[in-house]
Structure 1
Amino acid sequence: MLVSEKQLTSEQSRVVAVTVREEIARRRMSRQQLADEARISISTLEKALSGRRPFTLATTIRLEEALGVALRKAEAKSIGPVVIEAGVAPDELGAYARRSVKWIEGTYLTLRPSFGEPGAIYAYRTDIAWDDGQSSLVFREGERLDSDFSQFGSVAVPNQSGHVYLVTNRHGQYRLITVSRPTITGEMHGILTTLLAGRGSHLTPIAAPIAFIPMHAIKDAAFGRIAADHVSHAVYRTVLKRTVDEPFAMFLPGRD
């Protein structure tokens, strides 16, 4: 076998993949951009980063030159016992390392329009944290008036789209939140798609703007249904309105 075709071991490839993903996240570059700069195919890069194909020595050297980091030092450390500091999320969630998404972890005030009272805003808490058992970020809601409908699930952070997905899957029934990555102030804005409970067992698909605000940025946060005469309504409405005004999300009118 030629030296350039020598394959790294699975453990060495895993450690290199973690380092490359962290560098991509830190530099906010796309995988396609890295592949172009390293003069390798995007398919080769994607398969190596997801663990479907081991890194070769030639690919590793080209990535080192493109990133300006010593990846082979990283893989050399993996020969002995390895302690994984944070783990790596499954490929279907974006194959991210914990250190590359640590800035998403936290407690957020979550705002969306009230489904039951026109003009009112529904406010609750969302916690996003790393789960060692699942080896990924997870989210859980709290402070909801309708506590029976509190959601929890997985967090996907794919590099390609530049968005964060909060996914609930209960026996094949999905609820999805798609939000931007945090702004400079830590806010995330996007779209909630879910089912609206009606009379009896009637459920209707519904979509609405949604916003996440770091809890530390809000003094004396109020939860529940925030009506127009509530002291917090004006502030909450301004934040939620940004979702559509900037726009972080778009809602197209139906055709005639």
Structure 2
Amino acid sequence: MTRKEDIGSMLSTLEGVCREDGPRSGGPEEVCREQLVRLFLNDRPIGSLVASPSQLRELGAGFVLSEGLAESVDRVEVSGDRVMVHGSAVTRPLEATTGSSGGLSAGRVLRKVTSGLSIDRDEIFAVIAGIVSELWERTGGAHCSVIFRDGAMLAKSSDVGRHNTVDKAIGHCVLSGIDLSCCVLGCTGRQPAGMVSKAVNVGIPIVISKAATTDEGVRLAREAGLTLVCRVKEGRFCVYAHPERIRRLKETDS
């Protein structure tokens, strides 16, 4: 079951002068809040992120798993701007590469996706329809990610950063004991290699996005065995990798 987002903690109200087909007017405008978050894994600093100040436990858990820094998470503690994750850290060295998604190991495949999950093509639009972010509607400045299983939404997360929304949604499921190999990830954000690798590292088999992908995002999805569906809009979508997980893909509408 999804936990309702704390929208109030992610908003600030500031004065602005706005104009829209008429005389200008002044008044309060809602904008997204952002803060610097410092991440620790087993008491060792692993980096900092700029994020919306909500679901920070989920952010920490999802980040260390989706970036391949940990195999599992035992608990997460939040104190001020410090997010302290405790779990089973990987022992192999990681290449600290910062990509367009903001990750530390963008583009590296740590595992293959072997899930036998498949979905009907109509479920693609159902997932996208679920990406309704109150934070975006009120500010126009946020991304959103959702996780579905068997047609039901299990997680929804909003943030100023598209990569943070994925980490928060993943973290929510992990902390709830949900098997991600049976799930579908839906996103508003672009899918470069660094975003695709997040899903691969936690075993999510299908990623669906309103936005576009990149050549490296497609290459990584094909190599890792992940189904990548992008540019979903008004009855249209494009499957760039592993279309075998989409049922009725080649059938024509009657």
TM-score (norm 2): 0.28
Point out the structure with the larger strand share. 2
Say which structure, 1 or 2, has more relative contact order (CA 8 Å, 6+ apart): 2
Point out the structure with the larger helix share. 1
